[in-house]
Amino acid sequence: MLVPGCGRGYDIASFARAAAASASSSSPSGDSKNKKTVITGWDYVPEAVRSAKEWLESPESGLAELKRRNGSSPLVAVEVEQADFFQRAFSSSPSFIPFTLAFDYTFFCALPPPRREEWARAYSRLLAPGKGLLITLVFPCVPPPALGVDELPREEREAFQASFGTRELVEDAAKAEGPPWPVSLEEYKRVLLSDKGALFELVSCEAVPAKLSHRGRGGREMIAVWRRTTARKANENDEKLSAL
């Protein structure tokens, strides 16, 4: 699994804990025939890589405890590399094994909007044709889906209403500066589903209930899952592209 633009690595730790829990519930005896899950984080800023490594080693991440329990044959491993997402995607060698899963959170919105098509094409190179899944946590979503905002604590609810509760402010946000640049599901569709683009199909999409979001982000997130289309479809599209 790939987490590009992993920053301090919080998502890596969450996925590692979830993968370990799922591995131990499907094989309580720790059966070593289970396939190993490797979660790879990339960030091109050395400082981010250093702090991600530190955090993942720290007791707060919960991974040290996992390591202690799993001993020398862990079913889940994490690795963080200093790497440019685009450079890795477009320079992959023939022996490169594509990822089956990627998680994109506040990476898309951190990129300057003119790089969005390139972002989509990079994922199409990195994910396995026909089965690779890309999970995008769409934030800051404009217009905000606002699901469950009424259930937030009063202070957060009022902050949401003040900033994102009116049409004018939503329109202002669309013209905002970044990062984070405002995003929308339509924008993801534009670059991921376009037949000149990265050749994905939309598997599912839903608004994230406000209480599940990070503090201050409630009501402004959607989660969408995309599948990399098959190699055959990809080839057809490449042919279309070269005919342009």
Ligand X SMILES: C[S@@+](CC[C@H](N)C(=O)[O-])C[C@H]1O[C@@H](n2cnc3c(N)ncnc32)[C@H](O)[C@@H]1O
**DSSP state at residue 36:** P
Residues binding ligand X: number (CB under 6 A): 19
CB of 118 to ligand X, least distance (A): 10
At 241, which amino acid appears?
L
One-character DSSP codes across 74-89: -SEEEEEEE--HHHHH
Q: Kindly give the residue spans of alpha helices, DSSP state H, lying in 145-213.
A: 154-164, 167-174, 185-192
**DSSP state at residue 21:** H
Q: Which is nearer to ligand X, 23 or 89 (CB)?
A: 89
Contacts with ligand X in 76-95 (CB under 6 A)?
A: 84-86
Which has the closest alpha carbon to 207: 198, 196, 216, 218? 218
CB of 14 to ligand X, least distance (A): 10
Task: Give the total residue count for the chain.
Answer: 244
Which has the closest alpha carbon to 41: 102, 86, 90, 87? 102
Q: Which is nearer to ligand X, 99 or 107 (CB)?
A: 107
Q: Is 53 in the site for ligand X (CB under 6 A)?
A: no
CB of 135 to ligand X, least distance (A): 12
| SS3 state of residue 96 | coil
Q: Is 140 in the site for ligand X (CB under 6 A)?
A: no
Which of 13, 23, 42, 224 touches ligand X (CB under 6 A)?
42
CB of 64 to ligand X, least distance (A): 20
At 115, which amino acid appears?
R
Q: The tokens of 219 are what?
A: 């009501």
Which of 1, 43, 142, 144 touches ligand X (CB under 6 A)?
43
Contacts with ligand X in 182-211 (CB under 6 A)?
A: none
User: Could you list the residues that contact ligand X (CB under 6 A)?
Assistant: 4-8, 10-11, 42-45, 48, 84-86, 105-107, 110
